[in-house]
Structure 1
């Protein structure tokens, strides 16, 4: 990671522009600015003097530039000196429900064709994972489709539409209105995109709920309902809510609503075939999960 930041520093120094350096490196101006800021924090000095949209090397930046170039050259020489091809390794980000509900089956498929590839899985929320892909800290990430348009240099591949379901402890009776009136409500965090969809559903009903708690993870909400603490509305496919014998699926009134799960990636030549194979394995697993649901 430090080498990549040094390379970004060198590109920005040559171009005297973060946006021009980003265009050369395949990064957004924001990603370049973030990497330079982290490098400055790590070194404890300002590398650039900023004036509006223009930048120029600071005195300390001019002093450190030759050292950065030397370090990058030595690193590249070390890589070239290795006679043994490096093992292929990829880093994949995933939201929690994708880690437990999608990746195990997808990675089983993937390893049948590419057993030697090392896969490092990084957890996170959708917004965090998107930023990490943009900064090339992750090769790809499985997340909820962002509300806003993706940067043009990032590629989105849809995997599945996950339907929301009402859930209540086993043994409860009545339709959703009766269940929600009788039991406390366990809310999917309304600050998340997935929880915002639940909030919109409740507003459409124009009936209040007795909120007990608010949680980030659908799998944890499912466990709370299983323990008899209340009812909830969650995306039910990846947590396989229908298979839980301690929970009753309750039909929700009105039109069904969904969240879209997919893969965001930074197109690159390195490991392109490997990443394409993994995405295809995810797609096949998602089709199987949707058919089962």
Structure 2
């Protein structure tokens, strides 16, 4: 079978973007050139790698297998570049970074500051849910991962670099807004809109309430923080999200943070990579930059003052 690295690289880009157009733009090629290379790859494999449904394209089962190999091969090429860069002492190159869906709210600010110091760096930033992110760590594809609590079933190197407070949010006209230290027992009457099961936020919330013997009503599950915030604004219930996600909503007064005993739940953000991974000079530089500079660069959003008279709620 005569398969080229160029074809595998194109396959990886098309699969990652789910688009021939965006893949061609990333690689500075024409769309017909990309389509031709993928067609030639399919001829070599002897089976289709993509299928189209409407305007969307998806990997076939065979395509998924080839895609997994293409990512592994691409990582090996990056490792070769890392060795050569290390020997040359080069402080530029490509950084492959994956962040959780909550991490996307602050990662661009870290990258912007980093790129001022290392302007020759090309960044590939990917946003993934926890399940996808753990799979990437198992496959050893990204240089670095930013996530909440790292999994304990993979050999990893991880280091905390910044706090991640989880807060309870409500629409501004909710009766508990402005109440000081709402008892947890009061929350059993409320409907909660939470992240999907398996997410780092959901795991932390469930563990918090279970440890205190409090049952709460998870009336809705959503896989995106934006969806949770909009549901809260619409009055569908209370939400629990990272404070990092709330900059604009707090500034505009669209949601309010409740004062609840035991909250915020204090988690941490971690820089994570596989144990024994050969880090490129630029990946090492980014890791050290984040560990040393994140707290200085990132400032947590501040709630707007609540004009409602503050009062205590008696415990039920």
Provide TM-score, normalisation by structure 2. 0.56
**Map of 1:250 onto structure 2:** 258
CA distance in 2, matches of 1:203, 1:2: 53
218, 232, 241: which one aligns with 1:211? 218
Counterpart of 1:168? 170
Task: Check whether the contact 1:189–1:196 (CA below 8 A) recurs between aligned residues.
Answer: no
Partner of 2:87: none
SS in 2 for 1:245: coil
The alpha-carbon deviation at position 256 of structure 1 amounts to 4.7
Larger mean CA deviation between 165-174 and 201-210 belongs to: 201-210
**Alpha-carbon deviation of 1:94?**
1.0
How far apart in 2 are the matches of 1:206 and 1:134? Answer: 35
Structure 2, gaps ≥5 residues long: 6-43, 47-76, 82-89, 177-181, 303-316
Counterpart for residue 97 of structure 1: 102
Report 1:145-160 matches (<5 A): 145-148=149-152, 150-151=154-155, 154-160=156-162
- RMSD in angstroms over aligned alpha carbons? 3.5
Separation in structure 1 between the aligned mates of residue 234 and residue 290 of structure 2, nearest angstrom = 32
Query: Map of 1:73-222 to 2, 5 A cutoff?
Result: 88-99=93-104, 101-148=105-152, 150-151=154-155, 154-174=156-176, 175=182, 180=187, 183-222=190-229
Query: Conserved in 2, the CA contact under 8 Å of 1:95 and 1:143?
Result: yes
Count, aligned residues: 213
User: CA 1:178 to 1:118, structure 2 compared with 1: closer, same or farther past 3 Å?
Assistant: same
TM-score (norm 1): 0.60
How far residue 166 of structure 1 moved from its aligned partner, in angstroms, is 1.1
Query: What are the superposed Cα offsets for residues 29-63 of structure 1, whole Å, 9 maximum, x if unpaired?
Result: xxxxxxxxxxxxx969xxxxxxxxxxxxxxxxxxx
Distance, in Å, in 1 between the alignment partners of 2:186 and 2:235 is: 12
SS of the counterpart of 1:237? helix
Tell me the CA shift for residue 195 of structure 1.
0.3
1:21 alignment partner in structure 2? none
1:211 aligns to what SS in structure 2? strand
- Secondary structure of 1:109's match? helix
Q: Deviations over 1:60-114 (max 9, x none)?
A: xxxxxxxxxxxxxxx9xxx9xxxxx9x8222111111111x22121111111111
